[in-house]
Amino acid sequence: MLTTPLFRWDGRYWGFVANGQVYDRHGRHVGWVEVTDVYDRYGRFLGELREQHYVLRDTLRAEPVHLAPRVTLDYPTPPDSLPDRDERDPLDGWRDALPWPLPPPDPPTR
pLDDT band per the 50, 70, 90 thresholds, residue 110 = low
pLDDT higher than 70, residue 108: no
Mean pLDDT calculated for residue range 73-82: 88
State residue 82's pLDDT score.
Answer: 95
The three-state secondary structure class of 64 is coil
Strands 21-24 and 45-50: unpaired
pLDDT higher than 90, residue 109: no
| pLDDT tens for each residue of 80-106 | 999 999 999 999 999 999 988 888 777
| pLDDT tens for each residue of 14-44 | 999 999 999 999 999 999 999 999 999 999 9
**Largest Cα–Cα distance in the chain?**
48
Q: Which has more pLDDT, 68 or 73?
A: 68
Domain boundaries, the chain: 4-96
